[in-house]
Homo-oligomer: A and B are copies of this chain.
Amino acid sequence: MDASLLQAIVDPAILFFFFGLFAGFVRSNLSIPEQIAKFLSLYLLMSIGYKGGVSLSQTGLTAQMALALTAAMILAFVIPAYAFMLLRRRLNPFDAAAIAATYGSVSAVTFITAVAFLERQGVSFGGYMAVALVLMESPAIIMAVLLANVVRSRSVVAGGTADGNVSVGKVLHEAFTDGAHLLLLGSLLIGYITGLPGKAALDPFITSIQKGLLLFFLLEMGLLVARRSRDLKLDGPFLAVFAIAVPIANAVFATALAKAFGLGLGDAFLLTVLAASASYIVVPAVVRYAIPEANASLYFGMSLAVTFPFNILLGIPTYFLVLRQLWG
């Protein structure tokens, strides 16, 4: 690991994540108030979306963008499908569908961390990657809920009751109107409409102080991960391996696709990080309602307590090293 990478890891926000882990493990009573943590996540989604919209308004629709978004859509459909088939061998269909949705979708905070990392490396990327983030969020949820519904109707045919069936329309509505998701979409659109003049007025809020707010959010995430990993019981190595191996496989898949589509280094890196990331805000909130049969401590715990820290601490620098080699 060279000097610039080392310096990248000593980013204060990432160190506060480590510190949160430490505080959680020594059972400190340190905690970020609930509503502040929720607001910080809304703030981060808003600023991602808004900045993405603004860049979009500057570049317009380009070939590079069309390619990147096509690659994102492919990943968004293929990952949850293969993850479900893999999980189905060991788990009941509800847990399998829920975990597949989690890993098929993406993590906005992992994305922000990757963007900050790229900026420190001085590598450019397209503002439309925020659009890729938005596009990759929902398909996994929808596929998972459809699968769960199929399972439920089969058990009805087999003599069960249909009580549990959640209509597809209702779930599409849930997935689309989920607060976090909708805020991202809305901010993207507003960023696109208001463009650079709007951004100038908002910049002190969405750019200058972002690092400080991200720091508190990552501190809270560190605390949560520590608390969660104490409770997490994965019953054997399968799920533990899954939570590391599948992100890596997705990263490899995304990198290959990016190479095949001829994306630039920055875009390829962000696509790789998105594919490797697992959702722990939007998807759990929707799935808890849409697939209540699934065990939240599994899908939420794996994503938050294993995959998120793996990506933040090891994944991001490693993916970057490898991609720089391949693109170099």
A-side residues, CB < 8 A to B, are 7, 10-12, 15-16, 19, 22-23, 26-36, 38-39, 42-43, 46, 50, 173, 176-180, 182-183, 186, 189-191, 193-194, 197-198, 201-202, 204-206, 208-209, 211-213, 215-216, 285
Check if A10 sits within 8 Å of B209, measured CB to CB.
Answer: no
Q: A11-B194, A19-B190, A29-B178 are in contact. Are A211 and B215 (CB under 8 A)?
A: no
Which of B31, B173, B205 makes the CB contact (< 8 A) with A212?
A: B205
Chain B nearest CB, measured from A203 CB (Å): 9
Check if B30 sits within 8 Å of A194, measured CB to CB.
Answer: no
Q: A36-B39, A204-B204, A209-B205 are in contact. Are A22 and B186 (CB under 8 A)?
A: yes
Closest 9 CB pairs of A and B: A205-B212, A30-B179, A33-B35, A204-B208, A28-B177, A19-B186, A12-B198, A205-B209, A15-B190
Which of B15, B189, B204, B206 makes the CB contact (< 8 A) with A194?
A: B15
Q: A34-B35, A204-B212 are in contact. Are A177 and B12 (CB under 8 A)?
A: no
Q: Which residues of B contact A191 (CB under 8 A)?
A: 12
Assembly stoichiometry (copies): 3
Q: Which residues of B contact A34 (CB under 8 A)?
A: 33, 35
CB-CB nearest in chain B for A206: B212
Other than A28-B179, A39-B216, give 18 A-B pairs with Cβ distance below 8 A.
A10-B194, A12-B202, A23-B182, A26-B176, A26-B177, A29-B179, A30-B177, A30-B179, A30-B180, A33-B34, A36-B39, A46-B215, A201-B211, A202-B211, A202-B212, A204-B209, A205-B211, A206-B212
- The 12 sampled A-B contact pairs (Cβ below 8 Å) are A12-B50, A16-B186, A19-B189, A22-B186, A23-B179, A26-B173, A26-B182, A28-B178, A29-B285, A36-B38, A36-B39, A205-B213
Chain B nearest CB, measured from A50 CB (Å): 8
Q: Which residues of B contact A211 (CB under 8 A)?
A: 201-202, 205
A212-B215 Cα distance, complex, nearest whole Å: 19
Chain B nearest CB, measured from A244 CB (Å): 27
Q: Which residues of B contact A216 (CB under 8 A)?
A: 39, 42-43, 46
CB-CB nearest in chain B for A20: B186
Check if A177 sits within 8 Å of B27, measured CB to CB.
Answer: yes
Chain B nearest CB, measured from A23 CB (Å): 6
A183-B182 Cα distance, complex, nearest whole Å: 34
Q: Which residues of B contact A177 (CB under 8 A)?
A: 23, 26-30
Check if A30 sits within 8 Å of B193, measured CB to CB.
Answer: no
CB-CB nearest in chain B for A285: B29
Check if B32 sits within 8 Å of A198, measured CB to CB.
Answer: no
A201-B177 Cα distance, complex, nearest whole Å: 34
Chain B nearest CB, measured from A22 CB (Å): 7
A19-B185 Cα distance, complex, nearest whole Å: 10
CB-CB nearest in chain B for A177: B28
A205-B213 Cα distance, complex, nearest whole Å: 8
CB-CB nearest in chain B for A194: B12
